[in-house]
Amino acid sequence: MIENRLPPAGRIYILFNKPYGTLSQFTPCAGHTPLSVYNFPPAVYCAGRLDHDSEGLLFLTTDGELKHLLCTPQFGHPRTYLAQVENIPDGNALRALQKGLMLRDGPTKPCKARLISPPDLPERVPPVRFRKTVPTAWVEITLTEGRNRQVRRMFANIGFPVLRLVRSQIGTFTAQGLEQGQWRYLSKEEEKKLAELKNSLRRGAFKCPKK
């Protein structure tokens, strides 16, 4: 944990850099690591989720309204992911992501997607399994919706299986300065920004991002 101040007296807001293999819940399941091992303060719960095989930024809070706003589909908000995929998506593949795809649960909204250089990330534990004969690429993708395993399904739909998936940003919040498995309370300034995010969500201010 990185403790930037004493636990707040009111509502609690926490940024957590979730490692691979950790569940977005406090109850153990199927041999995966639960959140209970990270010594969070009592009464916090996840505002949003990441699958056990995904990594990166997760909000925990005692604020029920924030949880509702971040978890309810009608209150879409930007979430950015770094996806390592098999093979190298070309312009047509990226445009298909940007425009929106038809998945089994309906069409996806337009999003941002671009090839990026390999990000500065620690090696995953356990390591990613590569095929020596198949190149890989990193894509940054920003969605305003959050269906179950959506990023993985979108890339599978266009023929580029995801090998590693890291959520790097929620709104303007990032996991910068947090090693995997570390968490910290929001600063007072960050809480003000979070209040702005909540107001934007209430107004339905987040539209589909431009390509």
pLDDT in tens, 127-170: 999 898 999 999 999 999 988 999 999 999 999 999 999 999 99
Q: Among the listed ranges 2-6, 39-43, 71-75, 195-199, which one has the minimum average pLDDT value?
A: 2-6
How many domains, in total, are found in the chain?
Answer: 2
Q: What is the CATH number of the domain that holds 101?
A: 3.30.70.1560
Same domain, 59 and 25: yes
Task: For the full predicted model, state whether its pTM sits above 0.75.
Answer: yes
Given 51, 53, 105, 120, the catalytic residue: 51
- Pairing of the two strands 79-86 and 13-18: unpaired
**Tokens standing for 167?**
């959520």
User: pLDDT tens, 86-138?
Assistant: 999 999 999 999 999 999 999 999 999 999 999 999 999 999 998 989 999 99
Residue 179's domain comprises 13-73+172-203
Cα(129)–Cα(89) distance, rounded to whole angstroms?
19
Q: Are residues 109 and 185 in the same domain?
A: no
Top pLDDT among 210 and 201 is at 201
Is 209's pLDDT higher than 60? no
Q: What angle do CA 113, 116, 121 make, to 5 degrees?
A: 115
Q: Do 152 and 179 fall within a single domain?
A: no
Same domain, 188 and 159: no
Same domain? 99 vs 61: no
- Known active-site residue 53: no
Q: Quick one: how far is CA 207 from the chain centroid?
A: 18
Same domain, 191 and 129: no
Q: Is residue 210 part of a domain?
A: no
* Residue 5 maps to a domain: no
Mean pLDDT of 12-27: 96
User: Can you say how many angstroms the Cα of residue 26 is from the centroid of all Cα atoms in its chain?
Assistant: 18
Query: Do 41 and 118 share a domain, yes or no?
Result: no
Say which CATH number the domain at 53 has: 3.30.70.580
Is there a single domain that holds both residue 33 and residue 115? no
Nearest to residue 49, comparing CAs of 41, 39, 32? 32
Whether residue 147 sits in one domain with residue 131: yes
Instruction: Flag whether 23 is in a domain.
Output: yes
